[in-house]
């Protein structure tokens, strides 16, 4: 590796670290302000389809299984 390449790696590392700190602070502030409810509702609306193989899942029972090998 040349010194120019090491300089670019160093700059990328520093910039990535600074951006990560800013993003984490913003995320913590958003969670403190709004909580996880908006995220939960977003995941529910994305994950539950309106139709599964021609059957409407509204009012159906849901269960979750975990398998460990």
Q: How many helices (H) and strands (E) does the chain have?
A: 2, 0
Phi/psi of residue 36, nearest 5 degrees: -95, 0
What kind and span of H or E run contains 37? helix 37-47
**What are the tokens at 37?**
């409810």
> What does pTM read for this prediction?
0.54
pLDDT digits (tens, 9 = 90+) for 47-56: 766 666 777 7
Per the structure, the count of domains in the chain is 1
Would you state the pLDDT for residue 52? 66
CA-to-CA dists, residue 10 to 3, 7, 26, 54, angstroms: 10, 5, 25, 55
Each residue of 13-47: pLDDT tens digit?
999 999 999 999 999 999 999 998 888 888 887 77
In which domain, by residue range, is 34 found? 1-69
Give the residue with greater pLDDT, 61 vs 34. 34
- Tokens (6 digits) for 22: 């800013």
Task: Supply the pLDDT for residue 39.
Answer: 85
Instruction: Determine how many CB atoms are found less than 10 A away from the CB of residue 11.
Output: 10
């Amino acid at each position: 590796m040349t010194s120019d390449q090491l300089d670019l790696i160093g700059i990328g590392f520093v910039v990535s670290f600074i951006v990560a700190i800013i993003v984490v602070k913003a995320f913590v502030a958003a969670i403190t302000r709004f909580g996880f409810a908006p995220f939960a509702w977003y995941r529910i609306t994305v994950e539950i389809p309106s139709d599964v193989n021609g059957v409407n899942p509204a009012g159906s029972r849901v269960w979750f299984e975990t398998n460990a090998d």
